[in-house]
Amino acid sequence: MLTGKKIVVTRPVGQEKSIIDLLHRSGATAYHCPMIQTSPCYDTEEMQNLFKSIQRFDWICFTSANGVKFALDFAEKENKLDFFHKIPIACIGPATQEALSVRGIKSSLIPEKFQAEGMISAFQSLPIKGKSILLLRAKGARKILSEALEANGAFALEFPIYDTFSDPIGMEQLKNLLKTGSVDVIAFTSSSTVRSFKKLLLEEKISVSEEKLTIASIGPITSETLRDEGLWVNVEAQTSTAKGLVESLEEFFNS
């Protein structure tokens, strides 16, 4: 149980409910301070041209629920949703799978480890040589997935579909919480949430210490970013999901 713990959730607006509900059930007080916001970054004409030839792809791969949202919103507006029922879909984890499911689309491939490295392993178990794979992703996403797919003989097209930005409202909320000492834990769920947090610390000249603040990470990539930004990791989710993160926090505080 996390009774009495004051925990900040940094996920963007609209993606916080699952983890906040779990924290409340565990007895914690949860504050939602979104560190990032997202918006589509594609050129409409380029997107329309992509959909005109989308049937040439053997797989469509999503690495976030945000990618699903912006791709399907566009497809729905263009009356092209049927393509997502005809082409096999790979998704990086349960949250992405759920984002597809609520729109009535099934995923055909989900890795055991919910990160790019896990997706690489999942694709490597399939005959992908000569296959064309469309990656609908965030602008500036790591190239490790597309590079690994091409090294295994596939053709991988990265198409940036959305971008992330700091959320000024969430950053202001977290600034006030930190200044009043009302935070026990900050839970980071992506590298972009970490970078926005570090931006907040630098701009507002706020100092934090491991003695007073527990930092929790949803997985190894987020943990790596935390350390690269000069921060620390007290808790890393054993499974990169909201449930896995809360369970790891419970284990940390009750061990």
Q: Is residue 190 part of a domain?
A: yes
Helix axes 65-77, 94-101, angle to 10 degrees: 20
* Number of neighbouring beta carbons within 10 Å of residue 143: 13
- The pLDDT of residue 218 is 95
- Structure token pair of residue 37: 């916001």
Q: Among the three residues 164, 186, 203, which one is the final residue of a domain in this structure?
A: 164
Q: Which residues contact 5 (CB under 8 A, 6 or more apart)?
A: 27, 28, 29, 184, 185, 249, 253
Residues 23 and 67 in one domain: no
Strand duo 59-62 + 89-91: pairing? parallel
Query: Whole-model pTM?
Result: 0.85
Q: Is residue 12 part of a domain?
A: yes
Residues 55 and 156 in one domain: yes
The stretches of the chain forming alpha helices (DSSP H) are 17-25, 44-52, 65-77, 83-86, 94-101, 116-124, 144-151, 168-179, 191-204, 220-228, 242-254
- The pLDDT of residue 232 is 97
Residues 73 and 48 in one domain: yes
Q: Among the three residues 147, 164, 181, which one is the final residue of a domain in this structure?
A: 164
- The pLDDT of residue 142 is 84
What percent of the chain is predicted at pLDDT more than 90? Answer: 87
Mean pLDDT of 229-253: 95
Number of domains in the chain: 2
Provide the pLDDT confidence category of residue 62 given band limits of 50, 70 and 90. Answer: very high
Q: Among the three residues 124, 146, 164, which one is the final residue of a domain in this structure?
A: 164
- The pLDDT of residue 37 is 94
Mean pLDDT of 207-220: 95
Residues 112 and 157 in one domain: yes
Residues 194 and 93 in one domain: no
> How far is Cα 127 from Cα 123, in angstroms, rounded to an integer?
8
Query: What average pLDDT is seen over the chain?
Result: 94
Look up the CATH number of the domain holding residue 185: 3.40.50.10090
Residue range(s) defining the domain that contains residue 207: 6-35+167-254
| Res. 8: pLDDT tops 90 | yes
Provide the pLDDT confidence category of residue 126 given band limits of 50, 70 and 90. Answer: very high
Residues 141 and 213 in one domain: no
Residues 56 and 109 in one domain: yes
| Res. 15: pLDDT tops 90 | no
Q: How far is CA 62 from the centre of its chain?
A: 11
79-107 pLDDT per residue, tens:
999 999 999 999 998 889 999 999 999 99
